[in-house]
Amino acid sequence: MIKPPTTTWIAVGLLTLMSILAFISLRGDSAIDDEVPHLAAGYSYVTRGDMRLNPEHPPLTKDLAGLAVVMWSAMTRTPIVFPSDLPSWTTATNAQWTFSPIFLYQVNHHSAEMIFWARLPTLIIYFGFGLWLFRWIRRRWNAPTALLTLFFYAVSPTVLAHARFVTTDLAATVAFFASFAAFLKWIERPTWRQTLLFGLVIGLAELTKFSLILLLPLFPLMIMVKFVTGGGLNSWRAHLRRLVVRLGQYLLAISVAYGLVVTPVYMLHTLNYPVAKEQQDVEFWQSNFAPGPLAAYVHWSVGKPVFRALGQYVTGVLLVQNRSQHGNTTFFRGVVDNVGHKSYFPIVYAIKEPLAFHILSLVALLSALVMIIHAKKSYRGIPHWINDHLAECTALVIIAWYWWTSIHSQLNIGIRHILPTLPFIYFLVSRLLIAARRQLWKQLGRLRIIGLMTLGGLLAWQFVSVVSVHPSYLAYFNALAGGPSGGAQFVTDSNLDWGQDLTRLATFAKQQGVQLMHIDYFGGGDPLSAMPGVARIYHVDDGPVTGWLAVSQTYLTNERGVAGPHLTKSPNRYAWLDAYQPVTIIGHSMVVYHIPTS
Backbone angles phi, psi at 317, to 5 degrees: -60, -45
Q: What pLDDT, in 10s, does the model give residues 272-291?
A: 999 999 999 999 988 878 78
Q: Over the chain, what is the mean pLDDT?
A: 91
Please report the pLDDT score of residue 366 as a whole number: 87
pLDDT at residue 445 above 80? Answer: no
What pLDDT digit, counting tens, does each position of 490-522 carry? 999 999 999 999 999 999 999 999 999 999 999
Residue 323 C-alpha from the chain's centroid = 16
Residue 562's DSSP bridge partners are 335
* Residue 518 or 226, more confident: 518
Whole-number Å distance between alpha carbons of 571 and 559: 7
Cβ neighbors of 3 (< 8 A, separation 6 or more) are none
Judged against a pLDDT cut of 60, whether residue 450 lies above it is answered with yes
Backbone angles phi, psi at 409, to 5 degrees: -80, 155
Checking if the pLDDT of 249 tops 60, the result is: yes
Instruction: List pLDDT tens digits, range 152-199.
Output: 999 999 999 999 999 999 999 999 999 999 999 999 998 999 999 999
Residues of 543-565 as b/e, b for ≥16 C-beta within 10 angstroms? eeeeebbbbbbbbbbbbbbeebe
**Per-residue pLDDT tens for 323-339?**
877 778 889 999 999 88
Residue 446 is predicted with a pLDDT of 61
Per-residue pLDDT of 453-463, as tens digits, reads: 888 899 999 99
Q: What is the mean pLDDT of residues 468-479?
A: 95
415-441: pLDDT as tens digits: 999 999 999 999 999 999 988 776 665
CA distance 72 to 60: 19
DSSP string, 59-126: SHHHHHHHHHHHHHHHHHT------TTSHHHHTSSS-HHHHHHIIIIIS-S-HHHHHHHHHHHHHHHH
Phi, psi for 513 (deg, rounded to 5): 70, 35
Per residue in 341-393, pLDDT (tens digit) is 999 999 999 999 999 999 999 999 988 887 777 666 556 667 777 878 889 99
List pLDDT tens digits, range 23-77.
Answer: 999 999 999 999 999 999 999 999 999 999 999 999 999 999 999 999 999 999 9
